[in-house]
A and B are shown apart, each in its own frame.
Chain A
């Protein structure tokens, strides 16, 4: 059973371009979370999704950021018109429905976005 797969692992963008980060949760996991870790800081919650639904986006910036988890395919975190402050590691995590309330999440290895 493969773990949470994130790609790309590294992404370089120039200011104003778009960044798309993909996350395939573990098999059987229908809950996906995105976290952001800026350099020298802790992990910050961004958004929690279930298939085709955004459950909690309280950590997502109102502008330029969006996330989806379609019925088929990976979850996508999209950042439009990137700025240097978006440079960070973006981690995706998943959990099965019966483990959501235990707090046990399975994290991917992250996607590192560098904005030039």
Chain B
């Protein structure tokens, strides 16, 4: 059973600082690890992904780190902006579909 856990339901960060969102997974049988972002009353939006053969992928202010030995995935946002305030998901990919958890709510304050 492939599972990913986001242990922090919420995170509050000051504008300009770094936001670090974490996921821990119990099974390493994924080809890709993904992050999605969701604003209220909107659908989730794909943010960034990383191949299982890499340990880092960067896209502008967003960097995803994969530590396969520790079974840990993280998303770094720097510098954080108020517009980054949203719920962030690291869904698992199970056979043919994405399985979402409850996510981490990020709030970036001025």
- Chain A residues near B (Cβ < 8 Å): 4, 33, 35, 41-45, 48, 55-56, 91, 93, 100-110
- CB proximity of A86 to chain B, nearest CB, Å: 19
Which residues of A are found within 8 Å of B65, using beta-carbon distances?
Answer: none
Contacts known (A91-B44, A103-B32, A103-B91); A33 close to B49, Cβ less than 8 A: no
B93 within 8 A of A: yes
B59 contacts A by Cβ under 8 Å: no
* Total inter-chain residue pairs, C-beta < 8 Å: 57
Interface of B toward A, CB cutoff 8 Å? 31-32, 34, 41-46, 49, 89, 91, 93, 95-103
Q: Given A45, A91, A110, which contacts B97 in the complex, CB threshold below 8 Å?
A: A45
Majority SS of interface residues in chain B? loop
- Judge whether A33 and B97 touch: CB under 8 Å: yes
Chain A, residue nearest B31 (CB): A101
B30: shortest Cβ distance to chain A, in Å? 8
The answer, among B42, B98, B101, for a CB contact under 8 Å with A105, is: B98
Taken together as a complex, chains A and B put the C-alpha atoms of A48 and B94 apart, in Å, by: 12
Q: Please state if B100 and A35 are interface contacts (CB–CB under 8 Å).
A: yes
A33: chain B residues within 8 A (beta carbon): 97-98
Q: Which of A55, A107, A108 is the one whose CB lies under 8 Å from B96? A: A55
| Contact in complex: B49, A41 (CB < 8 Å) | no
In the assembled complex, the CB of B88 is this many whole angstroms from the nearest CB of chain A, namely: 12
Instruction: List, in ascending order, chain B residues with CB within 8 A of A108's CB.
Output: 43
Q: How far is the CA of A105 from the CA of B44 in the complex (A)?
A: 9
Q: How far is the CB of A91 from chain B (nearest CB, A)?
A: 5
